[in-house]
Structure 1
Amino acid sequence: MDTTRPTAGLAPLLALLTVATGVVEAASLLGFGPVFTGMQTGNVLFLAFGTLGEGGLSVVAPTTSLGAFVFGAVLAARVEWRLEAHRLRWMIIAMLTEAVLVCVAAAVAWDLEPVRSAPSGRHLAAIAVLSAAMGLRNVTAMRVAVPGMPTTLVTRAMTGFLSGSLIGRDPSFGTARATARRALSVASMFAGGLAGAAFVRAGFPLHVPLLVAAALALTAGLAGLRVPRVYTR
């Protein structure tokens, strides 16, 4: 099987998806929970804190997100493997599917007011759809495996960037191109979070940043049609 992996062409697409993550997480954390939909480490901690009743945190929101994330990741792993086996453009299909799911979440959240605790049924439904989409995304990003661009986390990218930069001077962290990708990943997450928070602060309904995130995923998917190869592990 051809394992050609045009990472140079993929980096801009993954940067768009990382911006979308920042926008989605801003809407989730500031409007639906607090809860994350892609960064499940935060939900594990929210669940732990909420279990002991600390911080007034709901256990329902992180539990919903974790469960939906697991469902999305498992389903994506099964489907993407089969698409790859048939030499279909599974990554493009995954990105377009994510865009559809985020649009569904935006429809569910249409005109919903932000909450700081005790999310309603519609809030939980939006959380579930978004988390399933992010589960799909994480599987897709891991299958593509572009170094330094996981699209939903920046801790490792930031560590790699600092270690491989002129400050860290550690040659084991790769080339200048890898360092640039890591910097792009961190900057993209910041830009997405900033944009999403700006929408919430300006009083836009929660469906607005979600539609923006869906548009970013759709753009990445359509742009990916121009990359000539199917991406395989």
Structure 2
Amino acid sequence: MKPRPGRALTSIMVVLTLTTGMIEAVSFLALGPVFTAMQTGNLLLLAFALTGAAGLSPAAAGVSCAGFVAGAVLGSLFESSVDARERRWFAPALLAEGVLLGAGALAAWHAGVDGPPAAPAGGHHFGVIAFVAAAMGVRNITTLRVRVPDVPTTLSTRALTAFLGGLPHVADPRIGSGARHEGRRFASIGAMFAGGVLGAWMLREGVGPAVVLAVPCLLVLLLGAGSWAVPARRTSEPG
């Protein structure tokens, strides 16, 4: 059963977008530089690193790609198997993502990751990267299946483009315009920016990467538990 479209689902997706900003702040500023959610950027970092660009680790980027692929494949199999039994897959998917983020936070805490590596990222950073990237692989499969317009949760380029294309005197009817569309796009862009600012600020103030990762973990788990607690007839529909 798929989530029922509406304001509640859109709000969940906006909160997930906020968590992406925080996660990528940790990934780029404390684990890499590497991305774990925005794999387009990560693929470019991998390409640059393979040419010997200074300060970049092909191993870190490769681990992120591998973790993301594993999360996306396993997430797709899991959600499809739940859906085939005509049960809700959205809430369990959020809970699975939250567990993986929690594993990443625990790995960062256990390894004592407290800032960007002085040298190219090592094994203790790789474990954190793998868990977080796997969580983001699950996230991307989940949001792809949900299909909330303009709120993909792990990137903002399309939302920003649609927002600009929907402005008065520019509006293209083929991409949609009006307060509802533009409000959703603005919320998506703002949430990503706010999450990045919050994550980077926490790291700058000396908050450990494990704690910063724990915040998105808790938010995702709360969203999953909340979605699960609401009766299926109010949150889901066949399909």
Q: What TM-score, normalized by structure 2, do the two folds share?
A: 0.92
Q: Given the alignment, which residue of 221, 226, 229 partners 1:223?
A: 226
Query: Which amino acid letter does the alignment assign opposite residue 114 of structure 1?
Result: G
CA displacement 1:75-101 (0-9 Å, x = unmatched): 111110111111222110011111111
Question: Structure 1 3/212 Cα, relative in aligned 2: closer, same or farther at 3 Å?
Answer: closer
What is the root-mean-square deviation in Å for CA atoms of aligned residues? 1.7
Question: Does residue 168 in structure 1 map to residue 174 in structure 2?
Answer: no
How far, CA to CA, are the matches of 1:39 and 1:231 in structure 2?
30
Q: Which residue of 1 aligns with 2:87?
A: 88
CA shift, 1:119, in A, is 1.1
Find the counterpart in structure 2 of residue 9 from structure 1.
Answer: 8
Question: What does residue 118 of structure 1 align with?
Answer: 120
The answer on whether the counterparts of 1:7 and 1:146 sit within 8 Å (CA) in structure 2 is no
> Contact 2:16 / 2:220 at 8 angstroms: preserved in 1?
yes
Structure 2 CA distance for aligned equivalents of residues 167 and 32 of structure 1: 44
Q: Which moved more, 1:112-121 or 1:206-215?
A: 112-121
Name the amino acid aligned to 1:186: I
- Kindly tell me the number of residue pairs found equivalent between the two proteins: 232
1:130 to 129, 132, 137: 132
Aligned residue runs from structure 1 range 31-70, under 5 A: 31-70=30-69
Judged with a 3 Å threshold, the aligned counterparts in structure 2 of structure 1 residues 48 and 71 are, in CA distance, closer, same or farther, namely: same
Aligned AA (1:205): G
Counterpart among 178, 201, 210 of residue 198 in structure 1: 201
Which residue does the alignment assign to 1:189? 192
Q: Is the 8 A contact 1:73 1:138 kept in 2?
A: yes
What stretches of structure 1 of length at least 5 have no aligned partner? none
- Provide the rounded CA distance (Å) in 2 between the counterparts of 1:211 and 1:4: 26
Deviation at 1:175, TM superposition (A): 4.2
Cα distance in structure 1, aligned partners of 2:53 and 2:34: 15
Match of 2:14, SS state, is helix
Q: Distance in 1 between matches of 2:212 and 2:3?
A: 35
Structure 1 residues 167-226: Cα deviation after superposition (integer angstroms, max 9, x where no partner): 522222224322211111111101111110011110111101100111111222133233
Separation in 2, partners of 1:122, 1:62: 14
Per-residue deviation, 1:4? 7.3
Distance, in Å, in 1 between the alignment partners of 2:209 and 2:216 is 11
**Cα deviations across residues 124-166 of structure 1 (Å, max 9, x unaligned)?**
0000000000000000000000000100010001101110122
Shift, 1:232, TM fit: 6.2
| Aligned 1:16-35 pairs, distance under 5 A | 16-35=15-34
Return the letter of the residue paired with 1:126.
Answer: V
1: CA distance, partners of 2:34 / 2:7: 33
Look up the SS of the partner of 2:152 in the other structure.
Answer: coil
Identity of aligned residues (%): 42
For the residue of structure 2 that corresponds to 1:60, the secondary structure is: helix
For structure 2, the 5+ residue unaligned runs are: none
Structure 2 SS opposite 1:55: coil
Supply the distance in 2 between the matched residues of 1:172 and 1:83 (Cα, whole angstroms). Answer: 35
